[in-house]
Amino acid sequence: MSDILIDDAPQPQAVKGRSLWEDARRRLMRNPAAVTSLYVVAILVLIAVFGPVLWVHKYDTIFRDSVAIAPTWKNMHLLGTDTEGRDMVARLILGLGISMLVGLAATVVALTIGVLWGAIAGFIGGWLDDAMMRFVDVLYAIPFVFFVIVLMTVVQFDDPVLNLVLIFCAIGAVEWLTMARIVRGQTLSLRQKEFVEAARAAGAKPLQIVLRHIVPNVVGPVVVFATLNIPVIILAESFLSFIGLGVQEPLTSLGSLLSYGKDQMTTAPWMLIAPAVTMLITLLALNFLGDGLRDALDPKER
Amino acid sequence: MLAQAVRRLALAIPTLLAIVAAAFVLMHLAPGGPFTKERQVPPEIERRLEAEYGLDLPIGQQLLRYLVGDEGRGGLIRGDLGPSMTYKDKNVGEIIAEGAPTSAILGFSAMALALVIGTFLGVIAALRQNKGQDYLVMAFAIAGVCLPPLVVGPIMQLFFGVEWQLLPTAGLHRDEYGLRYLILPVFTLSLPIIAVVSRLMRASMIEALRSNAIRTARAKGLPERQVIWRHALPIAMLPIVSYAGPALAAVMSGSFVIETVFALPGIGKQFVLAAQQRDYTLVMGVVLIYSFLIILLNLAADLTYRALDPRSRTA
């Protein structure tokens, strides 16, 4: 082909490029399960944030004359009261909030450590990569429970809020291992991909390659992992509550509500059903959202 | 392949040593010890007790003592896990020998059940992708991870045991592993695993069905059933093999919730209680078993992976 031909050819109208994120957003919006889940999660967050202010009862007010009563319109105990005589709706709202907070904060801790660890190991490579990943291997082979119990007992605060922060850190400090492996694997394989090669050949600077080509491809799995990790952490927190290392009274979480509820299962089933249904809805929504995000962010689906 | 297995097993020894050292140090970082109880013991007696178990030594010496032993005790290298610090008349070895079979049987059965059901469900979902059956299977799978066993267990006990009187709710009959006593705990333990396996299976089966190998198999005119179960399934099993190795190690080393809810004498319960009471030697014993299982089953998973992966057969 001669140069003249190209010059004469009609210049294509500048196509407005759609960014990766715009693309992913569109794909996500086409997935009904994911969209519904997105709304459900948003509503749950709103309930958890504004519920404690709006609801008529406080989570730690004790009604001595109505202990463990079934759901009733009287005095607005819509989900009944617990064995201490506290309103179940108020406890449920608080529990939902704390479970979500634990899930989110622990995921942020895990994400920060994991992404940094994995990216450094993957980028620098060599003996440092070996050493860092052997370290992860060793920690992997130590049971989760052991870690959390040790971490939770090394430092103990009397203040329930500080204790809560400790739970985040303890769980996050365990969950980062998987993240580090994912990010390292991604970084390693991306470094050798053709499109990185192509970008390099086109004269892109290393920083540009990292930001425009590697990061968008790592962010996908990271976001998916984070979304799917929140349910895992909420479940882990419920396990901690079960062994008595969870949130301290009078605060509560979905896990500790379930733990109490199952003991009253035959006499006061509403104390189990309400938190169980809430947990089911929350985790279902987060899981569907995570799956939807995975499909939306998968570069192969484009 | 054999040479690689041997090399990996040899590498396992320094890894295990590193794990023991890390767990040992972490454990001793936690405040309090096995003899700091609510009931105050006079400090002189507490010191004597600690000296008896070597807890007054510097941490490095304690670790060395745990590994190679001293006069009278064998140490880890001779297979002696040491005396328990809360059960005064028992060795850690004896406690684990009592509990390990229960945990291993529970874990292994749960994993086997989950692999069969999960694979089946996953294949069905993949074949009916984005149709009614697919959504039904996936809704069940996701619901399986959404309720913790500490809720599912008691609910199953209530219905199958108390309301319908079909199955025993807890314990073992005369310490024998009767099938009737295992059904509920095994099923409860396997629910979350079924969920994970069926999701993995669905995703990898969809991918396998799109591969060139399957297109070739279909082009050859093989019957659809043979294409799916003989050709696509081995390819699709690969991610499940890598998942199942470490997951099996986790369930076989005991589940605190299942063993508590169903009153079964396993090591999962022992482990959590021991960690809370700072029974250092017992905790180390269970950590060691878990780590050993993880390393062993990861190796087994890798070898199975190679055996299943057609690409590695000629290499």
- Is A258 within 8 Å of B142 when comparing Cβ atoms? no
Strand ranges (E), chain B: none
Joined together, the tokens standing for residue B13 give 């020894």
In this prediction, residue B312 carries a pLDDT of 59
Q: Give the minimum alpha-carbon distance from B230 to chain A in angstroms, rounded to a whole number.
A: 27
Q: In this model, does residue B231 exceed pLDDT 70?
A: yes
Q: Which residues pair with B179 in a beta bridge?
A: none
Strand ranges (E), B154-257: none
d(CA A157, CA B144): 35
List, in sequence order, the alpha helices (H) in A141-193: 144-154, 160-191
In this prediction, residue B117 carries a pLDDT of 92
pTM of the model: 0.79
Q: In this model, does residue A273 exceed pLDDT 50?
A: yes
With a pLDDT cut of 90, the percent of chain A lying above it is 1
- Is A255 within 8 Å of B148 when comparing Cβ atoms? yes
Cβ-based contacts of A154 with chain B (< 8 Å) = 29-31
Q: Hey, where are the domains in chain B?
A: 100-277
- Is B142 within 8 Å of A284 when comparing Cβ atoms? yes
Q: In this model, does residue B21 exceed pLDDT 60?
A: yes
In this prediction, residue A302 carries a pLDDT of 47
- Any B CB within 8 A of A141 CB: yes
A150 vs A131, residue with greater confidence: A131
pLDDT digits (tens, 9 = 90+) for B198-219: 888 888 888 888 888 888 888 8
pLDDT digits (tens, 9 = 90+) for B120-154: 988 888 888 777 788 888 888 877 777 788 888 88
Q: Which residue of B has its CA nearest to A138?
A: B19
- Is B256 within 8 Å of A279 when comparing Cβ atoms? no
Comparing A29-33, A132-136, A197-201, B70-74, the range with the smallest average pLDDT is B70-74
- Dihedral, B120, B125, B127, B131 alpha carbons, nearest 10: 150
pLDDT digits (tens, 9 = 90+) for B77-127: 666 777 777 777 777 778 888 888 888 888 899 999 999 999 998 888 888
With b for 16 or more beta-carbon neighbours within 10 A and e for fewer, the B156-165 pattern comes to bbbebbeeee
In this prediction, residue B112 carries a pLDDT of 93
Long-range contacts of B89-98 (CB under 8 A, 24+ apart): B92/B281, B92/B282, B92/B284, B92/B285, B93/B285, B95/B267, B95/B270, B95/B282, B95/B285, B96/B267, B96/B270, B96/B285, B96/B286, B96/B289, B98/B265
- Is B23 within 8 Å of A149 when comparing Cβ atoms? no
- Is B257 within 8 Å of A149 when comparing Cβ atoms? no
Using 50, 70 and 90 to split pLDDT, how confident is the model at B184?
Answer: confident
Q: How far is CA B166 from CA B113, B161, B163, in A?
A: 20, 6, 8
- Is B151 within 8 Å of A235 when comparing Cβ atoms? no
Computed over every residue of chain B, the mean pLDDT equals 79
Candidate ranges A2-6, A83-87, B308-312; pick with highest mean pLDDT: A83-87
Cβ-based contacts of B143 with chain A (< 8 Å) = 280, 284
Comparing A16-25, A160-169, B99-108, the range with the smallest average pLDDT is A16-25
Cβ atoms < 10 Å from Cβ of B57: 14
Give the distance from CA B315 to its chain's centroid.
Answer: 32
* pLDDT, mean of residues A149-153: 73
Q: How far is CA B296 from CA B5, B10, B15, in A?
A: 10, 11, 12
- Is B147 within 8 Å of A231 when comparing Cβ atoms? no
Q: Which residue of B has its CA nearest to A245?
A: B276
In this prediction, residue B113 carries a pLDDT of 93
Partner-chain residue, chosen from B146, B150, B291, that has the shortest CB–CB distance to A142? B291
Cβ atoms < 10 Å from Cβ of A279: 26
In this prediction, residue A55 carries a pLDDT of 80
- Any B CB within 8 A of A267 CB: no
Partner-chain residue, chosen from B19, B143, B162, that has the shortest CB–CB distance to A280? B143
- The domain defined by B100-277 folds into MetI-like fold (1.10.3720)
Q: Give the minimum alpha-carbon distance from A56 to chain B in angstroms, rounded to a whole number.
A: 29
* pLDDT, mean of residues B233-248: 83
In this prediction, residue A9 carries a pLDDT of 47
In this prediction, residue A223 carries a pLDDT of 78
Q: Which residue of B has its CA nearest to A151?
A: B30
In this prediction, residue B115 carries a pLDDT of 92
In this prediction, residue B246 carries a pLDDT of 81
Amino acid of residue A294:
R
Q: How many CB pairs under 8 A join A and B?
A: 108
With a pLDDT cut of 90, the percent of chain B lying above it is 3
- Is B23 within 8 Å of A238 when comparing Cβ atoms? no
Give me the sign of the Cα torsion angle A185, A186, A187, A190. Answer: positive
- Any B CB within 8 A of A55 CB: no
In this prediction, residue B114 carries a pLDDT of 92
Amino acid of residue A195:
F
Environment class of A20 (CB within 10 Å of its CB; exposed 0-12, middle 13-18, buried 19+): middle
Joined together, the tokens standing for residue B245 give 């190795």
d(CA B85, CA B283): 10
Partner-chain residue, chosen from A138, A142, A242, that has the shortest CB–CB distance to B150? A242
Question: Residues B42, B8: contact at Cβ < 8 Å?
Answer: no
d(CA B228, CA A67): 59
Cβ-based contacts of B260 with chain A (< 8 Å) = 242
Three-state secondary-structure class, residue A221: helix
Contacts of residue A82, Cβ cutoff 8 Å, sequence gap at least 6: A68, A88, A91, A260, A268, A271
Computed over every residue of chain A, the mean pLDDT equals 77
d(CA B139, CA B125): 11
- Any B CB within 8 A of A128 CB: no
Using 50, 70 and 90 to split pLDDT, how confident is the model at A218?
Answer: confident
d(CA B52, CA B66): 14
In this prediction, residue A287 carries a pLDDT of 83
B242 vs B121, residue with greater confidence: B121
Q: How far is CA B135 from CA A80, A173, B114, B199, B237, in A?
A: 35, 35, 19, 11, 21
* pLDDT, mean of residues A37-49: 89
Q: Residue A94: enclosing H or E segment and its boundaries?
A: helix A88-124
In this prediction, residue B116 carries a pLDDT of 93
d(CA A227, CA A287): 7
